[in-house]
Chain A
Amino acid sequence: MDIMSVIINGLSIGSIYAIIALGYTMVYGIAKMLNFAHGDVIMVGAYTFFAAAHARNLNGPGGPFAAVLIAIVLCALLGMAIEFLAYRSLRQAPSLAVLITAIGVSYLLQNVMQTVMSLDGVDRFFKNVLGVVISENNDKPIFGADTKMITDLVNMQALDIHLSDTLTIPGLAIVTIAVNMLIVVLLSLFVNYTKMGKAMRSVSEDRSAAQLMGINVNRTITVTFAIGSGLAAIAGILYCAFPHELVPTTGSIPGIKAFIAAVIGGIGSIPGALIGGLLLGLVEQLSRSFLPVTELTDAVVYSVLIIVLLFRPTGLLGKKIHEKV
């Protein structure tokens, strides 16, 4: 295996982790909670994209872009709903309770999706009873227990760059890395230079002081969840394009790895999420290629976390937290 292509692969997987980690890091930094369900929002985003892109009215040339937009908006709404229904009533609760709730929400999303997507005949129901054909062709129903792939929807071979006979930079990798960089830049600008960004930073620093200064804490947290979940939708589409198959548990592994990336980079820090994500992606791809068995990849990836935390308990770019008694 060519080391350059492994590195390119690692950077693009790492970019996806970084996008997810941004969602984790923002929510953790501002709401001070670990949103375990974030990984499953990825999965919902990918499913939404799949369904929207297959829908009959969206098969024109701009269809995939519209589907991406739909996925982002739906995931942002989902994130806000989760925050409102599950987490808002636990603002004052101990972190253990919030974490257990978040795990519950994660499993709820997975299982609701499992139940909904395995309903055979939903397409037929729409067609025969309501007279609406929701799928573009009947060979590929949107609902059903079969495994779904979105690779044919996200075809970017036109963007491939052939550097030599053996080395090609895939178009998807270019797009992923570019999207990641764009998101990081935009998010940094948003957090540092807008009024809402300022509100986010102040809530992150001291929630009650922010409230006393007239900042609507609940709205700030809701906006954070919306942004994080919208990013998760983008990450979900890119992750499944790579290709990973689309099943209800698709989101849990990238979710956990992205959280680890966020912790490695220093949770609450946007550049930290970027660095952590890229580092984790590189380590994962390198160990996958050069270790004798693939089962050991996870061991290496998770050891990176433990090693980093041993030497820097708040992550690479994390700030030391002084505790007030």
Chain B
Amino acid sequence: MQNNASALQESVRRRSRAFSPKARHILYKSFTFLLVTLAFVIFYDWLCEGPVSGLFAMGKISRSVKGYFVPVCAWVVAAVSLNLVVGFSGELSLGHAGFMSIGYSTGIVVYNLLTKGYGWENIYLSMAVTMLAAGLMAGIIGFLVGIPVLRLRGDYLAIVTLACAEIIKSLLQCLYVSLDTTDGVRLLFAFPKNTLTGGTALLKGPTASAPIGTKGTTTDLPALYIIGFALVILTLFVVFNLTDSRTGRAIKSTRDNRIAAESMGIPVTRHKMIAFVTAAVLAGMAGALLANKSTYQPANFNLDMSIMVLVYVVLGGLGNVLGTIFSTTALYILPEELRFMKDYRMLVYALVLIFAMVLSNNPVIKGWVTSIVSLVKRRRKSINLFAEESRNAFAAGDDAQGANAREVLVIEDAGENETAVQPEAAEPDSNQAELPEEVPAEALAAQAGGRLTLERLYTADGTPLDDETQRRIELGLMLYEAYVDSGKGKKKGKKKGGGKA
């Protein structure tokens, strides 16, 4: 009985939507791509002080604002990729900064090798190769890290990802790389102490390295911004395609119920690994993009940075890509621009984390939110609520909502008695599709009254139901049919109760 009721509710819910879920999802994806592209066009134009900025009267761009564009792209990519792990595969990774630092270091080495060693001129080409290398390296490390990590679950997994990031950080703090071009192009490595002499130092252990993506001595910001935008689009493409694929559904199923997924034959570890490694690759690319600023050193890629990216994800919504893009942009730029936010940034982040989690997980507060939402939607949903009442009546009056359901039934009984039996019985006809939105219970019951009779129902142990209960069930079904007809005019065949109640 309960199953029947929830199936009714589900079908009611589905019918009340303007778009099918699939169409909504496609709209959502296209909207995300469109928005990102639009933002890019406007801001690129502003960066180059082109015609559109005049159109929007955005004025001359300040030096500090210029500095935001590329890091924002990097953080968006980092946050969206972390969302892939936390939101879609449901495992908390506290080691995202570790993969970013891998990408960062690899990026510096490869970029300098290409430009200074082999004399590549084209920034797009060399950055593309750099990013590929950084992503590849981070992916390999991510795979190696994933082997022990993904065997664990929940809190253990979180703490081990944290441990792995710390290991990566302390290894990178001891890594020295320099480029020697005197006798052919050679890379010199030293670990754990700096024993290198000569050549250009690329990675200098715990201290900051030289920035990349430069043309001569100046940073080519517009080019880097284009590269950043391309990376964001690539990330969106990868994440959307992964989550919508068969693999993505498998990943989500392991998140929602690991045991059920496992018993359906889904290899859980392999799917978690796919999400984890994809996220690592994207994080590595984001790290390489960050390497255009000289303000980072290995010690910066610590737990704080992982937490910061996690805050972006949590505020944007677990599993919500567009939300993550918004929250990352806002949380990156606001603290930089607002003095107050800058001093108390971490304080605000902490409160964001706590409130986002408590508000979205506490059943009481969730109930408030739901009731506010339903207040707003009340007019549209009035008929839907009515269907819910009929469901309560249908589920018979002995449970918590019994009293309420009985009241509804009394009204309906009256209605039925008044209209008595009508000649055309059985099938409701399609004229009644034109019911107005707001139908009083009596009228609806009257219209439906007497039309629908079921064969005698039986309880599970085979005793026939008494007349009272039988009529309640019939009434519930009548009301539902009336609702269905009024909603879409789509007729559903008369529902025969399966004989067992």
Asked if B354 contacts A108 (CB within 8 A), the reply is yes
Q: Contacts A101-B358, A298-B166 known; A111 to B347 CB distance under 8 Å? A: yes
B251 at the interface (CB under 8 A from A): no
Asked if A309 contacts B357 (CB within 8 A), the reply is no
**A321 nearest CB across to chain B (Å):** 10
Q: Choose from A28, A256, A295, A309 the contact partner of B170 (Cβ within 8 Å).
A: A295
A325 at the interface (CB under 8 A from B): yes
Asked if A104 contacts B353 (CB within 8 A), the reply is yes
Task: Write the chain B residue with the least CB distance to A249.
Answer: B304
Q: Which residues of A contact B160 (CB under 8 A)?
A: 305-306, 309
A144 at the interface (CB under 8 A from B): no
Asked if B156 contacts A90 (CB within 8 A), the reply is no
Asked if A99 contacts B163 (CB within 8 A), the reply is no
**B324 nearest CB across to chain A (Å):** 15
Q: Choose from A103, A296, A313 the contact partner of B151 (Cβ within 8 Å).
A: A313
Task: Write the chain A residue with the least CB distance to B168.
Answer: A299
B152 at the interface (CB under 8 A from A): yes
Interface centre among A86, A103, A293 (most CB of B within 10 A): A103
Give bound CA distance, A314 to B206, whole Å. 34
Give bound CA distance, A27 to B363, whole Å. 23
Chain B at the A interface: SS class: helix
Asked if A97 contacts B357 (CB within 8 A), the reply is yes
Contacts of A249-303 to chain B: CB distance below 8 A: 252, 256, 259-260, 263, 291-293, 295-299, 302-303
Interface mask (A140-159 → B, CB under 8 Å = 1, otherwise 0): 00000000000000000000
Interface mask (B156-188 → A, CB under 8 Å = 1, otherwise 0): 101110111011011101100000000000000
Give bound CA distance, A310 to B164, whole Å. 13
Q: Which residues of A contact B356 (CB under 8 A)?
A: 100
Asked if A107 contacts B174 (CB within 8 A), the reply is no
Q: Which residues of B contact A291 (CB under 8 A)?
A: 192
Give bound CA distance, A292 to B195, whole Å. 13
Interface mask (A100-114 → B, CB under 8 Å = 1, otherwise 0): 110111111011100
Asked if A108 contacts B351 (CB within 8 A), the reply is yes
Q: Contacts A115-B344, A298-B170, A299-B171 known; A103 to B351 CB distance under 8 Å? A: no
Q: Which residues of B contact A97 (CB under 8 A)?
A: 357, 360-361
Give bound CA distance, A111 to B350, whole Å. 9
Size category of the binding interface on chain B: 35 or more
Q: Choose from B192, B314, B351 the contact partner of A296 (Cβ within 8 Å).
A: B192
Task: Write the chain B residue with the least CB distance to A295.
Answer: B173
Asked if B163 contacts A306 (CB within 8 A), the reply is yes
Asked if A107 contacts B307 (CB within 8 A), the reply is yes
A89 at the interface (CB under 8 A from B): yes
Asked if B174 contacts A293 (CB within 8 A), the reply is yes
Asked if A100 contacts B92 (CB within 8 A), the reply is yes
**B195 nearest CB across to chain A (Å):** 11
Asked if A105 contacts B159 (CB within 8 A), the reply is no
Contacts of B352-372 to chain A: CB distance below 8 A: 352-354, 356-358, 360-365
Task: Write the chain A residue with the least CB distance to B257.
Answer: A325
Q: Which residues of A contact B346 (CB under 8 A)?
A: 107, 110-111
Interface centre among B155, B169, B314, B360 (most CB of A within 10 A): B155
B250 at the interface (CB under 8 A from A): no
Q: Which residues of B contact A70 (CB under 8 A)?
A: none
Q: Contacts A111-B347, A295-B173, A295-B192 known; A309 to B360 CB distance under 8 Å? A: no
**B456 nearest CB across to chain A (Å):** 38
Give bound CA distance, A291 to B174, whole Å. 12
Q: Choose from A104, A110, A305, A325 the contact partner of B354 (Cβ within 8 Å).
A: A104
B79 at the interface (CB under 8 A from A): no
Chain A residues packing against B (C-beta within 8 Å): 28, 33-34, 86, 89-90, 92-101, 103-108, 110-112, 115, 252, 256, 259-260, 263, 291-293, 295-299, 302-303, 305-306, 309-310, 313, 323, 325
A-B contacts besides A34-B155, A103-B353, A256-B159, 20 pairs, CB < 8 Å? A28-B155, A89-B361, A90-B362, A95-B155, A97-B360, A99-B155, A100-B314, A101-B358, A107-B353, A252-B303, A260-B159, A295-B170, A295-B205, A296-B174, A297-B170, A302-B167, A303-B167, A306-B160, A310-B151, A313-B156
The 16 listed contacts between A and B (C-beta, < 8 Å) are A90-B357, A90-B358, A92-B363, A100-B314, A101-B357, A104-B350, A104-B354, A105-B350, A107-B350, A110-B350, A111-B344, A252-B303, A263-B159, A292-B192, A305-B159, A309-B156
The 3 closest A-B pairs by CB, nearest first: A104-B353, A107-B350, A93-B361
